[in-house]
Structure 1
Amino acid sequence: MSSVVDDLVPVDVARCDDDVLLASWRELERTRNRLAAVEHRLIAEAERRGLPFTHGARNTAGFVRALLRVHPREAVGRVRAADAAAGRTTLTGEVVPAPFPAVAAAQAAGTISPRHAQVIVAAVERLPDVLRVEHGARVEADLVHYAEQFDPHQLGTLALRVTTLMDQDGTLADVEHRDRHRDLTIRQRPDGSAAISGEATAELAERLLTVLDALAAPKPAEGGVRDPRTAGQRRHDGLMDALDLVQRAELVPSVAGISTTVLLTTTAANWSSGDGVATTGHGAILPTREAVRLAGGDTRTMTITLDRHGGVVGHTDARRLFTETQRLAMIARDGGCTFPGCDVPPAWTQAHHVIDHARGGPTTIANGTLVCGHHHRQHQRQGWQSVMSDGRPAWLPPPWLDPHRRPRSNPRTRPG
């Protein structure tokens, strides 16, 4: 294969006329499509020989990732494609045909792309078992035919229409179908953020929407300014608040005997200066200043500080959270979120260290106040500072709002 490419690379395409150029381009795409079918056979044979196991991989996708240095998502996609379009030969010599023979034949001929194949397989797999047994092969063949005319996006639209028209009795909406296709995927990026996607059952969707109705409502802002967050940002922050409540209530099972804890690792120098980066327990890298903010929250967090050789030189106490008695006292004093203008009730707040615990602030009632998740995350970014004034929590506004930074309190806060 390499020798063929070696012959093609030096070709001067500038000397080709339009017809030859376009024909060559189409032939290249056809060949690229056919190569996917070859890889399917390689993956199937590697599995038959047990190569993933003998090479120490957890599964075939992990083996493909290590061997070819491809992205984990790409490796999973290739293995799934092979499962759908490659026949198998068992150790006893029995030949097992490809689950999707029309797709396999079209890919071997190069008439459809790997993405076309994904769309077709997904459409057939959406069918409930009763319809799939009776009509799956016909749907597959019809979509393979249309794939020679439409791009994958157009084919996906057509496939959805085909399966919907087959659903005259609402079979596609049955509980078993929804349950079979439930899914949640979290793809974490190197900076710690993540893309979240999936398919929710009707029950999960309803419960999630009900919780977010309460937690994702626009927050009142000081000075009558509208909440600047988009609806999507409010839902994001509402989900964060819900997780804060669950984790704070210690309702999550332990992992390996350890209570659910957010783990942060950095150097002692970075922690004291706020410079550099910290690493989370899942390997994400955060700016140290963001880690300090996270460590100051009302969820179980433990910070490990290392020296320049990687040795542990210190750690914070993961149990630096306020006790139930302290929270009850703050509820009696604060009555809810103490940020000016906020009306979030006590049940939806978290206890906040006025002087950050990461900076030596004690976990005492005199250094604590109730704050909703939104204002706990945003107050520093917006220039606000929490203080205690005459034994009661107050907030110093940013200079742009009040050049004198006079303390402001929530009128709902109980009198001292």
Structure 2
Amino acid sequence: MMQKIAELERRGAASELGYRNVAHVLRHAVRWDLKTARQWVARAESLTRQLTPTGSFLEPELPVTAAVVAEGALSGEHISAVAEVMKDLPPEAEQPVVEFAQAHEPSAVRSFGKELAYRLYQQDAEPSEAVPPTPVNRLRMEWKGDQLEVSAKLDKIAGAKFEAMIDPLAKPRPTTPEEGQDPRSRAEREGDAFADLIDLMLRADRLPEHGGEPVTLTLTMTYRELAEQTGFATLDTRERMPATLVRRLACNAGVIPVVLGGRSEQVDIGRKTRTFPASIRRLLVARDQGCTFPGCDRPPRHCDAHHIRFWSEGGETSVENAALLCRHHHTLIHQSEWEVRLLNGTPTFTPPAWLDPTRTPRTNTTTHPDRSQVA
């Protein structure tokens, strides 16, 4: 199994299928949760030989462990424990660690590894006391290939503000039948949150289009409730607000009414521009109420408007050719064989054949529980 996983990694199967890494592929293909998939990938990388671009093979990262595993003498948990403790130990320590692992449970291996590391390094010189950093805001940006590396130092006040903006965006995506648990590490979640924050700031410059108010909200109500001033309005944050409070809210923010239950002309700007204007986005927020990918519950403010038929392929910028997708699923749709189309006003997704040979269409029932799985 580990040899096959290592081969998938070596051949670049993940990027070929449109996924971030092999762990994501395993999660969809064999229905493993992400933690299990990541463990298998990590074990495979540690115990199998690597093929270099020149065609030569490199020995496994843990050659002693690989030999013992080949004999069936260690469990998967033991492999993970050995790999964990060897991060802090020199290569020559692998032999005694593996011998210990053959006679003890994984938790004892971790304790043994910590004790061994202490004995090996206890004679090292104590690190010098660090000089307190100067409270100056600094930012460094450097392009490396097609990636921009960013490092920053912020003073206490600016740092607290930045953390307050990142935290809500970096929460793990909820566990769903389609994708299981959020596979991202904390660093990955915070990196994606930073990218989302950039998108939010780019959208902020469109606020003057709505009249210059500091905040613009979309309130969705039925026509009857709007006329009778009863019931509840749904904000684009999915919070419900009594109609009696709408007037009070309007004193401090711009309110865009989206009336459901009546006939209205669809907004369509054709091929004039690739960017979705605020008018179309408002209708998408009212229709989709968040990311439309099956199982995702990201709210509208975390979503982009996606051209169902790509703009580069002649797709128009219109409500009938658009669906809201969070940044993660927007990337997946563009890079993988997942397909999306609009059926009776509902964004409907067809999985790749390798994932579902029947290619049964699926819809997001998280934001619309009344919808069936197949539109």
Q: Indicate the structure (1 or 2) with the bigger Cα radius of gyration.
A: 1
Higher RCO structure (Cα 8 Å, ≥6 apart):
2
More helix by share: 1
TM-score, length-scaled by structure 2: 0.44
